[in-house]
Structure 1
Amino acid sequence: MNNQLREAIEAKKQYYIEKLLDAGIYKVSNRQLYRLTLSELERIFQITARQSHG
């Protein structure tokens, strides 16, 4: 079960990384996207999505 959770988290991280790359975001505070946590990626994605819609 633990392995499934890890795989699900990694898949979700990859989803957000791809969306951010599509938006032209490659680094945040000089950190590569793959180094960020899922929570950090979600927050950056939400901010980016709000800026592009508002």
Structure 2
Amino acid sequence: MGKGLEERRKELIYKLMIHTVNKTVEQLMKLTLKELEKEYKKVQNDCHPHSDAGSIHWVHTKRQ
């Protein structure tokens, strides 16, 4: 498997672990890239658009 594909797999596994998918790391590691992408699409459809690990979160803001 190419280096880019393996990096993509690792990225998806990391993101799926953050979103507490009902699978263990070992189970995720056994999935193909296509299967991981399918699982991640399911998570994306169920999540709020701003809840991703890379999204901006305001800290120490004043509430009015």
Same fold (TM over 0.5): yes
Higher strand fraction: Structure 1 or Structure 2?
1
Work out the percentage of aligned pairs sharing the same amino acid. 29
Q: Secondary structure at the match of 2:21?
A: coil
Higher helix fraction: Structure 1 or Structure 2?
1
Superposition TM-score, scaled by structure 1 size? 0.76
Runs of 4+ aligned residues of structure 1 deviating over 4 Å after TM superposition are none
Residue segments in structure 1 that go unaligned for 5+ positions in a row: none
Q: CA RMSD in A?
A: 2.2
Structure showing greater radius of gyration is: 2
Q: How many residues align?
A: 48
1:35 maps to 2:30: yes
Give how far 1:53 is off: 3.1
